[in-house]
Amino acid sequence: DQQVKQNSPSLSVQEGRISILNCDYTNSMFDYFLWYKKYPAEGPTFLISISSIKDKNEDGRFTVFLNKSAKHLSLHIVPSQPGDSAVYFCAARSGGGSEKLVFGKGTKLTVNP
Amino acid sequence: GAGVSQSPRYKVTKRGQDVALRCDPISGHVSLYWYRQALGQGPEFLTYFNYEAQQDKSGLPNDRFSAERPEGSISTLTIQRTEQRDSAMYRCASSLRIGQGNEKLFFGSGTQLSVL
């Protein structure tokens, strides 16, 4: 029973265009949502996060949007660059005093020059 | 180095053997986490520590798995009587402070465990 779902295994976009990565969740008790980026042969690296009490957080080219009523979040990358090509994981914190993160399966983003 | 260090990088073992995976977190980081990642999947939570205290071990699959962090720094994940289904990438992560939800986790490169 997957609590965090990334339904698109892969996404391909042109350099300079917008990349939109989507994530759905089922547990309304999640209190923080995070995005991690992973290059081959490396561990995931933190990208951006958002509290469940907010609906948008922006950091440079990266913006995360949260729609609590739909239990949906998305990561926007504008403009996309070839160096953004990586696997992106959506994660959610369980809340209730635990720091446990629940991860989705990831979406592989390819940005073509 | 300045990052989270895990050893060994690769471990091949025979079914039934015990293995110990080591994690050296970033110096000064309070919290330490263990995750397991199967091919094509996201990281799956195993357990985490604040200092030397194990806070949540709900993700450990069964009693063959245990973890310790006796001095609040280096941690060891031990798998006893390994089985083929234990084969995966085992990832350690650390964070500077006790979690505030948006606390960055710094992941190591992982230990790839193969049980034959």
- pLDDT tens digits for range A66-106: 999 999 999 999 999 999 999 999 999 987 777 889 999 99
CA angle B44, B23, B16 (to 5 degrees): 70
Please report the pLDDT score of residue A98 as a whole number: 79
Instruction: For residue A89, give the nearest of B42, B56, B109 by CB distance.
Output: B42
Per the CB < 8 Å rule, is A43 touching B104?
no
Tokens of B87: 């084969």
So what's the pLDDT on residue B99? 63
CB contact under 8 A, B101 and A101: no
pLDDT, tens digit, 9 for 90 and up, residues B93-113: 999 877 666 678 999 999 999
**Whether A108 contacts A9, CB under 8 Å:** yes
Interface subset of B 39-68, CB within 8 angstroms of A: 40-45, 48, 55-56, 58-59
Average pLDDT, chain A: 95
B4 contacts in A (CB within 8 Å)?
Answer: 43
Cα gap B110→B8, rounded to integer Å:
9
Once rounded to an integer, what is the mean pLDDT over residues A48-61? 96
- Residue B1 confidence (pLDDT) above 90: no
Kindly report the backbone phi and psi dihedral angles of residue A42, in degrees, each rounded to the nearest multiple of 5, phi listed first. Answer: -125, 165
Q: Does the CB of A44 have a partner CB in chain B at under 8 Å?
A: yes
Closest CA to B17 of B68, B90, B112, B86: B86
Q: Give phi and psi for A83, each to the nearest 5.
A: -70, -10
How large a percentage of chain B has pLDDT more than 90? 88
Cα-atom radius of gyration of chain B, to the nearest Å? 13
